């Protein structure tokens, strides 16, 4: 029986994870569930899945959750705050941690799970983008098992040999990272001027949280995934090629020196990579329908348009620059996306904010999580100030 802490249980990945777990009560039990604003949903999840602990961000949320659980006779113990998130991620009773908090808020609890040697199911790509070097060193030091949940990285993981620590020796020449192209594939920069948050969040193939949906629309998500892939698979940005594949059936590919290209295919449903990582190296039922190739009928591929989708180019540049450039990129993007969702800036201004922040701040080489957080805060401050000058 695997005991699981689910960081970000109330989100899109959290819900999909609970769906898979509920199909296998003989294999998985919930130790802790965490949420932020969706207290009623978290209460319902505690009741349904019998969590020992639930964590929210503040005392008011905790009081509300305690009240809801008491009325239902539920025994879940409620905690709150950043320290409590780290506690439930590192508790001795826990085998596996699903890291599915969105954004930089996921960094510390995910690191707490890594340093205590848990099996990590990594959806929170922002942890690796911000602190890739420290993160991967901590994985090696603790012997933690790291399994990617992003469908692209999970696909690559499935197509790699068991030992891929030295890609050249394994005959790997390139990782081909699939991208759907998002809802604005084929649009010019001019056409993208008046895009609304509702349009940006309506992804053609995937159902996701609002932040990652906007990131998918700007292609920043693909840029963050590029950086994530470099850390996970020990490759340089030049060894990763983004391939726009609108059907989202091939989730990514690995090209080998002998001309072979291995791909992983499936319906676009996050329960497949979640089930794969939960059960690895076994396979379990996920609830996802079988892929019907006759219905898919055709598979298309295009190069990404880096001129219209500047965020992808900015991410490639930050990956090549190294140091804290990816952390600055990530922080500026989080601030810009929130400002766009709040109606304060336009869609086309998201890359403008990120670019201004990257070029306005020098690059440093943080050697601690504290240093990474300083870079993150500096970038948030800079981008918020810039937004106040350009907002609509
Ligand atoms: N959705 C996908 O298909 C997908 C695919 C690949 C990777 N990912 C990655 O998985 C992560 C989660 O994505 P998602 O789509 O599931 O996001 P989401 O639906 O927005 O859910 C985010 C979760 O994080 C919690 N949260 C938000 N801010 C928080 C904070 N400051 N402190 C603590 N918890 C906080 C939310 O709580 P409340 O909802 O209660 O406020 C929710 O449980 C992201 O890093 C994303 O890039 C997602």
Between the CA of residue 83 and those of 90, 95, 319, what are the distances in Å? Answer: 11, 19, 31
For the domain covering 322-392, report its CATH number. Answer: 1.10.1740.10
DSSP class of residue 177 equals: E
Atom number in ligand 1 closest to CA 207? 3
Q: What is the pLDDT along the chain (392 residues), one digit of tens a residue?
A: 999 999 999 999 999 999 999 999 999 999 999 999 999 999 999 999 999 999 999 999 999 999 999 988 889 999 999 999 999 999 999 999 999 999 999 999 999 999 999 999 999 999 999 999 999 999 999 999 999 999 999 999 999 998 888 888 789 999 999 999 999 999 988 898 889 999 999 988 877 889 999 999 999 999 999 999 999 999 999 999 999 999 999 999 999 999 999 999 999 999 999 999 999 999 999 999 999 999 999 999 999 999 999 999 999 999 999 999 999 999 999 999 999 999 999 999 999 999 999 999 999 999 999 999 999 999 999 999 999 999 87
DSSP 215-269: HHHHTHHHHHHHHHHHHHHT--GGGEEEEE-TT--EEEEEEETTS-EEEEE--S-
Give the span between the Cα atoms of 368 and 372, in whole angstroms.
6
Atom number in ligand 1 closest to CA 10? 43
Place domain 2-149 in its CATH homologous superfamily. Answer: NAD(P)-binding Rossmann-like Domain (3.40.50.720)
- Compute, in angstroms, the gap from residue 125 CA to the centroid of ligand 1: 11
**Comma-separated ranges of CATH 3.40.50.720 domains in the chain:** 2-149
**Comma-separated ranges of CATH 1.10.1740.10 domains in the chain:** 322-392
- Compute, in angstroms, the gap from residue 112 CA to the centroid of ligand 1: 18
Beta carbon of 100 within 6 Å of any ligand 1 atom: yes
Write the secondary structure of 341-387 as one string of H (helix), E (strand) and C (coil): HCCCCCCCHHHHHHHHHHHHCCCCCCCCHHHHHHHHHHHHHHHHHHH
- Compute, in angstroms, the gap from residue 128 CA to the centroid of ligand 1: 15
Q: Is residue 83 classed as helix, strand or coil in its secondary structure?
A: helix
Q: Atom 5 of ligand 1 has which residue's CA nearest to it?
A: 150
| Per-residue tokens: 369 | 């999580």
- Other CB atoms within 10 A of residue 355 CB: 18
Beta carbon of 206 within 6 Å of any ligand 1 atom: yes
Atom number in ligand 1 closest to CA 42? 40
The residues near 111 (Cβ < 8 Å, ≥ 6 apart) are 127, 131, 134, 135, 138, 369
| Per-residue tokens: 111 | 């690191």
Q: What pTM was computed for the model?
A: 0.95
Q: Atom 31 of ligand 1 has which residue's CA nearest to it?
A: 105
Beta carbon of 124 within 6 Å of any ligand 1 atom: yes
Give the span between the Cα atoms of 293 and 126, in whole angstroms.
33
């Amino acid at each position: 029986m695997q005991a699981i802490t689910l960081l970000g249980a109330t989100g899109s990945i959290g819900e999909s994870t609970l769906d898979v777990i509920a199909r296998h009560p003989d294999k998985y039990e919930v130790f802790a569930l965490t949420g932020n604003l969706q207290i009623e949903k978290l209460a319902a999840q505690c009741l349904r899945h019998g969590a020992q602990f639930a964590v929210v961000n503040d005392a008011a949320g905790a009081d509300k959750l305690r009240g809801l659980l008491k009325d239902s006779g539920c025994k879940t113990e409620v905690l709150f705050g950043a320290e409590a998130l780290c506690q439930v991620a590192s508790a001795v009773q826990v085998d596996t941690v699903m890291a599915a908090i969105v954004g930089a808020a996921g960094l510390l609890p995910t690191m707490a799970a890594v340093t205590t040697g848990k099996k990590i199911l990594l959806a929170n790509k922002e942890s690796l983008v911000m602190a890739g070097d420290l993160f991967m060193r901590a994985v090696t030091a603790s012997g933690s098992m790291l399994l990617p949940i992003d469908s692209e990285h999970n696909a690559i993981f499935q197509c790699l040999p068991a030992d891929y620590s030295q890609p050249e020796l394994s005959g790997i020449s390139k990782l081909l990272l699939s991208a759907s192209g998002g809802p604005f594939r084929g649009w010019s920069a001019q056409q993208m001027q008046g895009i609304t948050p509702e349009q940006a969040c309506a992804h053609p193939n995937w159902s996701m949280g609002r932040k990652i949906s906007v990131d998918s629309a700007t292609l920043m998500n693909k840029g963050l995934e590029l950086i994530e892939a470099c850390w996970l698979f020990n490759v340089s940005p030049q060894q990763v090629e983004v391939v726009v594949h609108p059907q989202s059936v091939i989730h990514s590919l690995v090209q080998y020196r002998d001309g072979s290209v291995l791909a992983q295919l499936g319906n676009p449903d996050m329960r497949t990579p979640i089930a794969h990582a939960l059960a690895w190296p076994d396979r379990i039922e996920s609830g996802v329908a079988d892929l019907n190739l006759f219905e898919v009928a055709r598979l298309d591929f295009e190069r990404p348009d880096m001129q219209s989708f500047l965020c992808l180019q900015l991410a490639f540049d930050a990956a090549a620059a190294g140091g804290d450039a990816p952390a600055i990129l990530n922080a500026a993007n989080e601030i810009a996306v929130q400002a766009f969702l709040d109606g304060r800036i336009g869609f086309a201004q998201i890359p403008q904010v990120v670019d201004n922040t990257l070029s306005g701040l020098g690059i440093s080489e943080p050697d601690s999580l504290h240093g990474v957080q300083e870079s993150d805060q500096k970038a948030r401050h800079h981008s918020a100030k810039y937004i106040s000058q350009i907002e609509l």
